[in-house]
Structure 1
Amino acid sequence: MLLVAVALESTDAFRNGQLAAMAYYGIAAGGLTILIGLNGQISLGHGAFMAIGAYTAALLLQGGDPLPLAVILAAAAAVALAAGALVGVAAARLHGPYLAGATLALAVAIPGIPLYFGETLGGEQGLNVGVPEIPDWFADAVFFLTGQDMSRSRYLGYLGWFCLIVTFVLLANLARGRVGRTWRAVRDNEVAAELAGINLGRARVLAFVVSATCAGLAGGLMALSARIAAPSGFTLTLSLLLLSAIVLGGLGSLVGALIGAALLTFLPQLVTGLGQDIGLSDVRAAELAPLIYGLVTVLVVLFAPAGIVGWFRAARRRRAERRTS
Structure 2
Amino acid sequence: MSATPAVAPPTSRPPKTGPRPAEGPRGSTLLRHLAAVAVAGLLLVALSYGVEPFRAFQLATVAAYLCATAGLTVLTGLNGQLSLGHGALMAVGAYTVALTQTAFADAGATGGWLLAVSLVAAVLVTVAVGAVIGVAAARLRGPYLAGVTLAVAVVVPALTVTFDGVFKGEQGLSVPVEPPPLGLGPYFPYERWQLWIAGAATLLALLLLGNLVRSRFGRTFRAVRDDEVAARLAGIHVARTQVLAFVVSAAGAGLGGGLLAVLAQSASPGAFSLTLSLFLLMAVVIGGLGSLAGALWGAVLLVALPDLTHALSDLLTLSPAVAQRLEGNLPLAIFGGTLVVVMIAAPGGVQGLLSRLGRALLGRWRRRRP
Cα distance in 2 between the residues matched to 1:3 and 1:270: 26
> Quick one: which of 45, 57, 66 aligns to 1:17?
57
Cα distance in 1 between the residues matched to 2:136 and 2:305: 36
1:221 matched to 2:236: no
Runs of at least 4 residues off by over 6 Å: none
Deviating more after overlay: 113-122 vs 24-33: 113-122
User: Quick check: 2:115–2:177 contact (8 Å CA) kept in 1?
Assistant: no
Unmatched 5+ stretches in structure 1 = none
In the superposition, the TM-score normalised over structure 2's length comes to: 0.80
Give 1:136 deviation, angstroms.
3.6
> Quick one: which of 341, 350, 357 aligns to 1:308?
350
User: Quick check: 2:279–2:335 contact (8 Å CA) kept in 1?
Assistant: no
Cα distance in 1 between the residues matched to 2:286 and 2:46: 27
Q: Partner residue of 1:234? A: 272
Cα distance in 2 between the residues matched to 1:66 and 1:24: 25
Listed one character per residue, the Cα deviations across residues 86-137 of structure 1 (whole Å, up to 9, x for unaligned) are 1111111111111111000100100011111111111111111122232345
1:269 matched to 2:307: yes
Deviating more after overlay: 283-292 vs 195-204: 283-292
In the superposition, the TM-score normalised over structure 1's length comes to: 0.91
1:62 matched to 2:102: yes
> Quick one: which of 140, 152, 156 aligns to 1:106?
152
* Alpha carbons of structure 1 residues 15 and 279: separation in structure 2 relative to 1, 3 Å: farther
SS of residue paired to 2:188:
coil
Q: Partner residue of 1:168? A: 206
Select the structure that is richer in helix: 1
User: Quick check: 2:84–2:153 contact (8 Å CA) kept in 1?
Assistant: yes
Cα distance in 2 between the residues matched to 1:236 and 1:32: 15
| Greater Rg over alpha carbons, structure | 2
Listed one character per residue, the Cα deviations across residues 265-297 of structure 1 (whole Å, up to 9, x for unaligned) are 123314423542566688478565443333222
* Alpha carbons of structure 1 residues 116 and 66: separation in structure 2 relative to 1, 3 Å: farther
Unmatched 5+ stretches in structure 2 = 1-40
Listed one character per residue, the Cα deviations across residues 222-266 of structure 1 (whole Å, up to 9, x for unaligned) are 111111111111110011111111011100100000011011112
1:48 matched to 2:94: no
Cα distance in 1 between the residues matched to 2:303 and 2:133: 28
Q: Partner residue of 2:242? A: 204
* Alpha carbons of structure 1 residues 278 and 103: separation in structure 2 relative to 1, 3 Å: closer
Q: Percent identity?
A: 49
Following superposition of structure 1 onto structure 2, how do residues 132-151 of structure 1 map, counting pairs within 5 Å?
132-137=178-183, 139=184, 149-151=187-189
Deviating more after overlay: 149-158 vs 109-118: 149-158
User: Quick check: 1:47–1:235 contact (8 Å CA) kept in 2?
Assistant: yes
User: Quick check: 2:282–2:335 contact (8 Å CA) kept in 1?
Assistant: no
- The residue type paired with residue 43 of structure 2 is L
Cα distance in 2 between the residues matched to 1:291 and 1:47: 19
Cα distance in 1 between the residues matched to 2:100 and 2:109: 7
Give 1:30 deviation, angstroms.
0.2
User: Quick check: 1:57–1:72 contact (8 Å CA) kept in 2?
Assistant: yes
Q: Partner residue of 1:119? A: 165
User: Quick check: 1:268–1:290 contact (8 Å CA) kept in 2?
Assistant: no
> Quick one: which of 251, 254, 261 aligns to 2:292?
254
User: Quick check: 1:31–1:212 contact (8 Å CA) kept in 2?
Assistant: yes
* Alpha carbons of structure 1 residues 8 and 279: separation in structure 2 relative to 1, 3 Å: farther
